[in-house]
A and B are shown apart, each in its own frame.
Chain A
Amino acid sequence: GAGVSQSPRYKVTKRGQDVALRCDPISGHVSLYWYRQALGQGPEFLTYFNYEAQQDKSGLPNDRFSAERPEGSISTLTIQRTEQRDSAMYRCASSLLAQASDTQYFGPGTRLTVL
Chain B
Amino acid sequence: AQSVTQLDSQVPVFEEAPVELRCNYSSSVSVYLFWYVQYPNQGLQLLLKYLSGSTLVESINGFEAEFNKSQTSFHLRKPSVHISDTAEYFCAVRDTGRRALTFGSGTRLQVQP
Contacts and interface: CB of A to CB of B under 8 A. Distances in A.
Interface residues of A, number: 27
A43 B101 contact: yes
Interface in A22-80: 31, 33, 35, 40-45, 48, 55-56, 58-59
Given A45-B101, A55-B99, A106 B32 contact: no
Contacts of A91: 43-44
Interface string B54-83: 000000000000000000000000000000
User: In terms of DSSP, what is the predominant structure of the interface of chain A?
Assistant: loop
Contacts of A108: 42-43
Interface residues of B, number: 27
Interface of B: 4, 6, 9, 32, 36, 42-46, 49, 51, 90, 92, 94-106
Given A48-B99, A107-B43, A101 B32 contact: yes
B99 A40 contact: no
Contacts of B101: 33, 35, 43, 45, 104
A56 B98 CA distance: 10
Contacts of A17: none
Contacts of A55: 99
Contact of B104 (A33, A42, A45, A100): A42
A109 B51 contact: no
